[in-house]
């Protein structure tokens, strides 16, 4: 059984009372004071290092943040994207050669061209949404439509058509 300190005793003889909020220094940022600790490993963390999880505050090591598999593409995905994008772009370019120009409305054909390339790349990569896959789709659509667009529409509208195809392909994959 512990003895309670005498409240009438001088203050230098009393035991210090424990404080509820202890101040620590962040393990990553040693100059930052914090009262937070990781809920798993009890490491002191500052608000910049804090990762909120469904089970509480964690440090970055314990949170184990991983990107979703949908946003991660490997070399095989890039190879499939290039093959599908260039294949559909080649077929689309041949098809555009046989269509008569409709003036300004021809730009809608290039938007459809970009949509077709973007959809082909998306399907070939199992709907991966990595930025690199979107770049591949945009490059395939832009390069595939550039020569035909310049030949059909002239340099100014041809460049606009190629850019439109690239932007639509990018948007389809992203």
At 170 the pLDDT is 96
At 11 the pLDDT is 56
Domain count, the chain: 2
- Do residues 150 and 96 touch, judged by C-beta distance below 8 A? no
At 124 the pLDDT is 95
- Residue 37 pairs in a beta bridge with 44
Same domain, 25 and 40: yes
Tell the residue number behind the tokens 């370019």, with chain if given. 93
Same domain, 151 and 101: yes
If the chain, 174 residues long, is cut into consecutive pieces of 10 residues, what is the mean pLDDT of each piece?
A: 56 53 82 88 88 86 82 93 95 88 82 95 93 95 88 84 94 92
In-domain check, residue 124: yes
Structural domain including 30 reads 7-65
At 18 the pLDDT is 45
Domain final residue, candidates 21, 37, 65? 65
Same domain, 109 and 127: yes
At 10 the pLDDT is 59
- Give the CA distances from residue 84 to residues 63, 78, 133, 134, 138, in Å, rounded to whole numbers and listed in that order: 37, 10, 11, 13, 12
At 111 the pLDDT is 93
Same domain, 22 and 100: no
Same domain, 32 and 76: no
In-domain check, residue 2: no
Same domain, 50 and 119: no
- Give the CA distances from residue 163 to residues 18, 86, 126, 144, in Å, rounded to whole numbers and listed in that order: 67, 16, 25, 11
Same domain, 94 and 169: yes
């Amino acid at each position: 059984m512990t003895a309670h300190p005498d409240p009438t005793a001088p203050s230098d003889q009393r035991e210090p009372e424990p404080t509820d909020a202890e101040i620590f220094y962040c393990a990553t940022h040693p100059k930052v004071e914090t009262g937070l600790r990781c809920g798993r490993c009890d490491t002191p963390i500052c608000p910049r290092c804090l990762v909120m999880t469904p089970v509480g505050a964690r440090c970055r090591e314990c949170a184990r943040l991983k990107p979703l598999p949908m946003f991660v593409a490997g070399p095989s995905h890039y190879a499939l994207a290039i093959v599908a994008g260039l294949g559909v772009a080649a077929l689309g370019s041949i098809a555009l050669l046989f269509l008569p120009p409709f003036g300004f409305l021809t730009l809608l054909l290039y938007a459809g061209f970009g949509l077709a390339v973007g959809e082909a790349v998306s399907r070939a990569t199992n709907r991966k949404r990595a930025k690199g896959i979107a770049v591949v789709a945009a490059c395939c659509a832009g390069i595939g439509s550039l020569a035909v667009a310049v030949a059909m529409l002239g340099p100014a509208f041809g460049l606009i058509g190629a850019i439109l195809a690239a932007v639509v392909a990018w948007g389809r994959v992203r």
